[in-house]
Structure 1
Amino acid sequence: MKNFRKITGAFILVFLLAGGFIFAQDKAITANQLPKTARTFLASHFKGINVGSAIEDREIYGVDEYQVYLANGMKVEFDSKGNWKEVDGKHQKLPYGFIPVSIRNYAAKNFPNTHIVKIEKERWSYKAELSNGLDLEFDRNGNFKKIDD
């Protein structure tokens, strides 16, 4: 009986893992299928730049995130509600309108000949990459914490 339970448990585990891989899929969508918050963000901060492609990352429980590739090569990641998580300029200067003022000011004051080319918003912090390759970390209020190696 113990062996039967072990075998049954192993089959259930394999089925659940396989099911996760089967149901977790990326799906190409149009820009109009993005959440309204994401569409508004793109229209406000990337005005005149077309969406090259958009991908909906689905997990078993629903949409996990959206990845948007812009015609100028930049990439924007949104959470399931359409809030930005990461903006990667692919070495191009990012528009600064959505970046917290304290982060913009710190970068401009301490690294005047650079610009922000990538920013990530995490639960408790921000990470900003500068055009000179430095990675700066800030707390969730935009206060400088450290230079990340």
Structure 2
Amino acid sequence: MKNVKKITGAFILFFMLIGGFVSAQDRAISASQLPKAAKTFLTVHFKGIPVSSAIEDREIYGIDDYKVYLNNGMKIEFDSNGNWKEADGKHQKLPYGFIPASIRNYTARNFPNTYIVKIEKERWSYKTELSNGLELEFDRKGNFKRIDD
């Protein structure tokens, strides 16, 4: 009897996990279906660069994030509310309007012949990648912390 309960419990757990993976999936959407904050961000900072595709990443509990691919190859990720999380220029210079001034100033002053090609906004920090491949980490206020290897 104990073995039957264990096997039944294992099957229930297995099917719950499978159900979670099946319901958590990406879905292609049009740019007009993005949250208003994401659409405004794209209009202001990537004006004139058309969206080639947008993906809505759905999890069991709802929408996790959005991934937007631009015609020039750049990728921008937004959270479920449309706030930017990451911008990847794919080795192209990112527009600097949304990057905190302290990060822009630090990189311009200390790495004058480079530009930012990627930036990630994390809970307590920012991570940037420069055109020379160097990765820099900043605190939430944009103060330099370290060079990341």
TM-score, normalization: structure 2?
0.98
Using the TM superposition, give the Cα deviation of residue 3 of structure 1 relative to its aligned residue in structure 2, in angstroms: 1.2
The residue identity in structure 2 corresponding to 1:26 is: D
Using the TM superposition, give the Cα deviation of residue 8 of structure 1 relative to its aligned residue in structure 2, in angstroms: 1.6
Aligned to 2:30: 30
SS in 1 for 2:28: strand
CA distance in structure 1 between the aligned counterparts of 2:105 and 2:27, rounded to whole angstroms: 38
1:26-65, CA deviations, whole angstroms, 9 ceiling, x for partnerless residues? 1000000000000000000000110000000001111111
The residue identity in structure 1 corresponding to 2:3 is: N
Aligned to 2:92: 92
SS in 2 for 1:72: coil
Q: Which runs of 4+ in 1 moved over 2 A?
A: none
The residue identity in structure 2 corresponding to 1:40 is: T
Using the TM superposition, give the Cα deviation of residue 81 of structure 1 relative to its aligned residue in structure 2, in angstroms: 0.6
Aligned to 1:132: 132
Pairwise mapping of residues 111-126 of structure 1 onto structure 2 (< 5 A)?
111-126=111-126
Farther-moved stretch of structure 1 (37-46 vs 2-11): 2-11
1:82-124, CA deviations, whole angstroms, 9 ceiling, x for partnerless residues? 0100000000000000000000000000000000000000000
Pairwise mapping of residues 1-149 of structure 1 onto structure 2 (< 5 A)?
1-149=1-149
Using the TM superposition, give the Cα deviation of residue 21 of structure 1 relative to its aligned residue in structure 2, in angstroms: 1.1
CA distance in structure 2 between the aligned counterparts of 1:146 and 1:69, rounded to whole angstroms: 30
CA distance in structure 1 between the aligned counterparts of 2:49 and 2:33, rounded to whole angstroms: 17
SS in 2 for 1:69: strand
Matched pairs, number = 149
RMSD: 0.6
CA distance in structure 1 between the aligned counterparts of 2:148 and 2:2, rounded to whole angstroms: 52
For structure 2, the residue ranges without an aligned partner over 5 or more in a row are: none
